[in-house]
């Protein structure tokens, strides 16, 4: 009875929230208004995906606690996800400095891992049979920073309709198919919630918001760590790296690029992979290419675990091909590192060019 009830309640609750997203978002102040040049949506849009996700998670966790003895990792994981949702919702509502969000996430993740040692990655197990032991203190620090970076990477990938929902659903499905870690009803409850979100998100009717992206990122991170600890023979470290490579690699590239160009590391711009793909292939084309770049390599790594490392190398090469392959073979190749510029720099350059032209015309 509990499995059917959980799936039904999650679907109904998420559908009602998403169906009435506009009035709820107006009341809560969770409206994304296109007031910045980098925002291309034409009308104010509710950021309500996160509320639907967290309500579905609360229903699943509550029914799971009633049905069986509560799992310590489930309780701490749910708390970590709830913390990130609250932090993201506050950021959606009134804005939080990036440094505050980063510090809060580090403290929350570090506390969760310190109280749940089994989630700490103490050994790197590769599919080729190589094991690398890590001292506990270093393992705790590296795992904490890895979770935080992944959560913020998922938030950065949420820039085009469909990308977050489709890839979150794929991560969930592949992890479940490979390890059978979750009870089937819990997997279905999460899946129907993501599908309900996609029903509205793909039409541009609502966004996940920072709260929704943080829920997906932190939830998938906790699930992956639990799988790595409790199903050591099902998913090796390099297979998980292939699965989560794209958003992490893109976030690292963007941070390095901003530092190289003397920009603030957390300054918003239009240099992410989904921005690059959107300029080349449009909104839907960008979502399809981005999703294919995750689904293709991760599926191969799951089916061919012995080839996970070569697949990882090929996936890294494919990523940089997507980013830097020149749109104009000669001219673009000469400026491949800088061709995706910040809006502030591009706008200043445009104004400067117009001013020079006016001076020349007057002369």
pLDDT at 341: 40
Q: Is residue 163 part of a domain?
A: yes
Q: Is residue 279 part of a domain?
A: no
Q: Is residue 243 part of a domain?
A: yes
Q: Is residue 306 part of a domain?
A: no
Is-contact 351 270, C-beta < 8 A? no
What three-state secondary structure class fits 335? coil
pLDDT at 34: 66
In 126-274, where do the E strands start and end?
131-133
Give the integer Cα–Cα distance in Å for 256 and 261: 9
Q: Is residue 30 part of a domain?
A: yes
pLDDT at 327: 53
First to last CA, the chain: 83
pLDDT at 4: 81
pLDDT at 62: 81
pLDDT at 214: 95
Is-contact 243 153, C-beta < 8 A? no
C-alpha torsion sign, points 46, 49, 50, 51:
positive
Q: Is residue 160 part of a domain?
A: yes
Pairing outcome for strands 131-133 and 31-32: unpaired
Give the integer Cα–Cα distance in Å for 175 and 89: 27
Domain count, the chain: 1
Neighbours of 140 (CB within 10 A): 19
If you ran DSSP here, which 8-state letter would residue 124 be given?
E
Range of the domain at 87: 2-252
pLDDT at 170: 93
Question: What length does the chain have?
Answer: 363
Give the integer Cα–Cα distance in Å for 19 and 339: 40
Q: Is residue 292 part of a domain?
A: no
pLDDT at 223: 94
C-alpha torsion sign, points 293, 298, 304, 305:
positive
Give the integer Cα–Cα distance in Å for 199 and 193: 10
Question: Could you tell me the CA-to-CA distances from 32 to 192, 202, 274 in Å, in that order?
Answer: 25, 16, 19
Q: Is residue 27 part of a domain?
A: yes
Question: Could you tell me the CA-to-CA distances from 191 to 141, 173, 234 in Å, in that order?
Answer: 32, 8, 21
pLDDT per residue rounded down to tens, the chain (363 residues): 567 888 899 899 999 999 988 888 888 888 777 665 455 555 678 888 889 999 999 888 887 777 667 778 888 999 999 999 999 999 888 888 888 999 999 999 999 999 999 999 999 998 878 888 999 999 999 999 999 999 999 988 876 778 889 899 999 999 999 898 888 888 999 999 999 999 998 888 888 888 999 999 999 999 999 999 998 888 899 999 999 999 999 999 988 888 888 877 777 777 888 888 887 777 777 778 888 888 999 999 988 988 999 999 999 998 888 887 765 433 343 344 343 443 443 344 444 434 434 544 554
């Amino acid at each position: 009875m509990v499995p059917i009830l959980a799936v039904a309640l999650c679907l109904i609750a998420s559908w009602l929230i998403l169906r009435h997203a506009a009035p709820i978002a107006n009341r809560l102040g969770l409206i994304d208004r296109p007031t910045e040049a980098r925002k291309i949506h034409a009308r104010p849009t509710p950021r309500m995906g996160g509320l639907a996700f967290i309500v579905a998670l609360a229903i699943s966790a509550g029914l799971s606690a009633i049905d069986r003895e509560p799992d310590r990792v489930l309780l701490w994981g749910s708390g970590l996800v709830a913390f990130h949702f609250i932090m993201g919702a506050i950021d959606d509502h009134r804005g939080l400095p990036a440094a505050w969000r980063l510090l809060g996430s580090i403290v929350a993740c570090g506390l969760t891992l310190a109280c749940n040692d089994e989630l700490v990655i103490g050994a790197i197990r590769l599919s080729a049979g190589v094991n690398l032991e890590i001292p506990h203190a270093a393992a705790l620090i590296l795992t904490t920073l890895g979770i935080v970076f992944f959560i913020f990477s998922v938030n950065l990938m949420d820039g085009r309709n469909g990308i977050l929902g489709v890839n979150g659903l794929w991560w969930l499905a592949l992890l479940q198919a490979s390890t059978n870690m979750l009870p089937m009803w819990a997997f279905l409850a999460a899946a129907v919630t993501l599908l309900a979100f996609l029903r509205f998100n793909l039409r541009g009717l609502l966004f996940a918001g920072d709260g929704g992206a943080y829920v997906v990122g932190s939830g998938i991170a906790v699930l992956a760590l639990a799988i790595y600890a409790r199903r050591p023979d099902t998913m090796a470290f390099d297979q998980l790296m292939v699965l989560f490579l794209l958003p992490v690699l893109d976030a690292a590239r963007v941070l390095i690029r901003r530092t190289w160009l003397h920009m603030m590391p957390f300054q918003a711009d239009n240099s992410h992979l989904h921005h690059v793909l959107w300029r080349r292939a449009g909104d839907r084309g960008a979502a399809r290419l981005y999703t294919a770049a995750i689904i293709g390599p991760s599926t191969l790594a799951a089916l061919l675990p012995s080839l996970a490392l070569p697949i990882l190398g090929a996936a890294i090469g494919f990523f940089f091909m997507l980013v830097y392959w020149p749109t104009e073979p000669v001219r673009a190749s000469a400026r491949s590192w800088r061709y995706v510029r910040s809006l502030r720099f591009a706008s200043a350059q445009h104004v400067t060019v117009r001013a020079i032209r006016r001076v020349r015309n007057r002369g």
